[in-house]
Amino acid sequence: MTKISMNEKTRQYLAETHKWTQEELDRCLRFWLNHGADRQHGGMYTCLDRTGQLYSTDKSVWMQGRTAWTFSYLCNIYGEREEWRATAESCLDFLERHCFNPKVPSRLLFTVTGDGRPLRQRRYHASESFYAMANAEYYLLTGKPERLERARRAYNLIWDLNHGAPDPTGLGPKTEPETRQMRALGSPMIYLNLTAVMRRADSDPAANEIYSSRAAECVRDIVTYHYRPDLKCTLEAVGLNGEFYDKFSAGRVVNPGHSIECAWFMMEEANRIGDGQLYETAENILKDAYELGWDKEFGGLLYMVDMMGWPPEPYEHDMKLWWPHNETLIAALMAYRDTGKAEYLEMFEETLTYSQRVFSDPEYGEWFGYLRRDGRPTEPPSKGTIYKGPFHLPRMLIIVEQIIAELLNA
């Protein structure tokens, strides 16, 4: 970390923000524990309206893993609390009992009913990623070896599936491979973060070599294929050799939030291996995404941008979603801590001011998930969905609280 000389105004701002993060984290956690925790079947409901009323009992498998990770991480950072540990264990047990595909036991489903009956399988491996993250983090908390073994199995399965192993579900690629094959940024990005969690949990020297090798490949894929400094963006989807497909929408789309999340994953890896050039690349990814995505008229990050200025295909492209702002707050503050550059503190402050104004809801807790372009919540407003649960926001609040404490105590 660069030695930062802060004036009194900056120190005061960070101290006030530090207090806010602690209060906001408490409100967020109380929202989910009071309204989402399923005391009957186990696990976490996430389809909640503004006040916490349940509007769908279907359960997201992603969110069972993400919730288990979050509450295990809380214990590992702040010390074990019975309610936190019990919530993590409830979600992990629900995953184990109900969320594996009964027809393909190695793969996890995407959604299940409230009592755990299968609903939907997807070709993507995100359910397995969050299952692995959760088990690894819970292993750090409990030391139970079966948790680490479960995490390792899922971690290796994802790697194999990403490197040509046949999917046992029989679900093929999204597009006809003889016509078009593409790489998705999400695959190396999510696996890079998963690898960081696995490395923290798994102290085996042989495993560490695997983690280092795979992290390096993820970074190489991101930089080689998706990051385009000539276009000043990081593309969501490219050809197998990094081709820029400018003739159809999917090839031109940038998701600023994904790019920014990817940037701080790369910052962490650059810090771990001491690679200043990689860190600079991550900085550029952050700055390019922020410049491309920030809405100059209404503020906030646009969800999707066509980097050539054409109409983006996703109909939600000009909405403001909670999680890209969470990722920006982490990345900007991390970059400020590591470099001392004022531009990153300004980025952090601009994003936080916007987020406190339009996303935060002190009356009921948690953040609105989905806003129109002008910053008004969609109606009726939601705090949780199949895709939104106790993950991005609490993760941001924990990391930001920790970084600010580090800065104030330096």
The pLDDT tens digits for 256-297 are 999 999 999 999 999 999 999 999 999 999 999 999 999 999
From residue 105, how far is each of 101, 108, 154 by CA, in Å? Answer: 5, 8, 12
| DSSP secondary structure of 39-95 | TTT-SB---BBTTS-B----EEHHHHHHHHHHHHHHHHHH---HHHHHHHHHHHHHH
pLDDT tens-digit profile of 147-187?
A: 999 999 999 999 999 998 999 898 888 888 888 899 999 99
pLDDT for 394 beyond 80? yes
* CB 234, CB 289: distance < 8 Å: yes
Rg (the chain; Cα; Å) = 20
Q: What is the pTM of this model?
A: 0.97
| pLDDT tens figures, 87-139 | 999 999 999 999 999 999 999 999 999 999 999 999 989 999 999 999 999 99
Inter-residue long-range contacts of 206-212, CB under 8 Å, 24+ positions, other chains counted: 207/152, 212/273
pLDDT of residue 1: 61
C-alpha pair distances (Å), 311 with each of 111, 186, 305: 31, 22, 8
Distance, CA of 347 to CA of 251 (rounded, Å): 28
Identity of the amino acid at 87: T
CB 331, CB 286: distance < 8 Å = yes
pLDDT digits (tens, 9 = 90+) for 44-66: 999 999 999 999 999 999 999 99
Domains located in the chain, CATH noted: 41-172 (1.50.10.20)
Tell me, what's the pLDDT at 5?
A: 82
Q: Is the peptide bond before 311 cis (omega within 30 degrees of 0)?
A: no
68 falls in which pLDDT band (50, 70, 90)?
A: very high
Half-sphere exposure (Cβ direction) of 133: Cα atoms closer than 13 Å: 27
If you ran DSSP here, which 8-state letter would residue 243 be given? -
Average pLDDT over all residues of the chain:
96
- The band of 195, judged by pLDDT with boundaries at 50, 70 and 90, is very high
Query: 310: pLDDT confidence band, cut at 50, 70 and 90?
Result: very high
What tokens appear for 49 in the block? 């309206």
Instruction: Provide CB contacts within 8 A for 178, sequence distance 6+.
Output: none
